[in-house]
Amino acid sequence: MNWDNDKTVYLAIGIAAKSDEHLGILKQLTKVLSADGVEDRLKNCDSAEGVIAILNGEVQSEADVDTSLVQLAFPATDLVQLTAVAAGLVKNHQAASNATVADAIAQGATYVGQGLWVAKSQKDVTRTALSFVTPASAFEEDGVAVKGLLFVAACNGSHGAVMHNLAQLLYKKQADKLFTADAAGVVSLLTEEALDGTTAVFAIRNPHGLHARPGAMLVSVAKKFNSTLLVANLNGDGKAVNAKSLMK
């Protein structure tokens, strides 16, 4: 249907709730609708069940990458230990099983350059997730430096964007950024395309969260700038999003 100056609406969502009961629903919708490509999936969905599955997050749009999947300065002395820890993080994230951990160890890790290794598994994975581990002290495996290991547990293609960002870091010879960043920084490096610019931290006194009206005001101000503006909640998962998108 047409809406507001000939804009096309493919899906309208109405929420009726008492008090703050709707906040959990809004949080879920924001997470789902901010994923890249979800607009096309909703637009082309031909059943109510399909729409519900997307809105409930049952259809994974983005790989899971957050600070709970990052372990820095682990006292490991070989790749087997690093791989086990990285796969264990994904298992504890409820995205894989013991079989995944065993498979990752059996497959071993691949060196991709600049001290970074990658391990992977598709065995018994229920959600695509990536974890990252660094050793307390860098060591060598067969004469090659080991500064960090990325583990990819995949059951779909939602990790493609992360691997693209990783490839850009390697191409620009910036893998060391992963080894010196904190957990939130690692998440940002893996989930955001590398951009050069200015960074600043601001304290926002808003205990009730960023609701529609202040959120719309922020987006309105951001849209006045020609630059790419990213914002991140440092008390949350640390992932930066487009400041010019209300749903982001």
pLDDT digits (tens, 9 = 90+) for 91-142: 999 999 999 999 999 999 999 999 999 999 999 999 999 999 999 999 999 9
pLDDT at 61: 80
* Same domain flag for 92 and 138: yes
DSSP 180-234: HS-HHHHHHHHHS--------------TT---HHHHHHHHHHHTTSSS--EE--T
- Residue 62 in any domain: the answer is no
Contact between 51 and 69 (Cβ < 8 Å):
no
* Domain of residue 232, residue span: 196-248
Any idea what the CATH number is for the domain that residue 159 is in?
3.40.930.10
- Residue 162's nearest CA partner among 183, 182, 187, 125 is 187
Average pLDDT, the chain: 88
**Residue 181 identity (one-letter amino acid):** A
In this structure, the strands spanning 116-121 and 148-153 are parallel
CA pair distance 133, 148, nearest whole angstrom:
6
> pLDDT exceeding 70 applies to what percent of the chain?
93
- Residue 243 in any domain: the answer is yes
* Same domain flag for 95 and 134: yes
Q: What are the tens digits of pLDDT across the range 142-158?
A: 999 999 999 999 999 89
* Same domain flag for 13 and 78: no
Q: Is pLDDT of 169 > 80?
A: yes
The CA-CA-CA angle for residues 63, 65, 70, to 5°, reads 150
- Which comes out higher in pLDDT, residue 26 or 184? 184
* Same domain flag for 83 and 173: yes
CA atoms within 13 Å, Cβ hemisphere of 12: 7
* Same domain flag for 93 and 178: yes
- Residue 16 in any domain: the answer is yes
* Same domain flag for 21 and 78: no
Residue 248 CB neighbour total at 10 angstroms: 16
- Which comes out higher in pLDDT, residue 233 or 54? 54
> pLDDT exceeding 90 applies to what percent of the chain?
50
Number of domains in the chain: 3
- Residue 60 in any domain: the answer is no
* Same domain flag for 74 and 153: yes
CA pair distance 153, 129, nearest whole angstrom:
5
Among the candidates 191, 219, 234, a domain finishes at 191
Among the candidates 32, 55, 78, a domain finishes at 55
The sign of the torsion formed by the CA atoms of 153, 155, 158, 163 equals positive
Residue 52 has φ and ψ, to the nearest 5°, of -60, -40
* Same domain flag for 128 and 160: yes
* Same domain flag for 97 and 145: yes
**Residue 164 backbone class (left: φ over 0; alpha: ψ -120 to 50; beta: rest):** alpha
Among the candidates 142, 162, 191, a domain finishes at 191
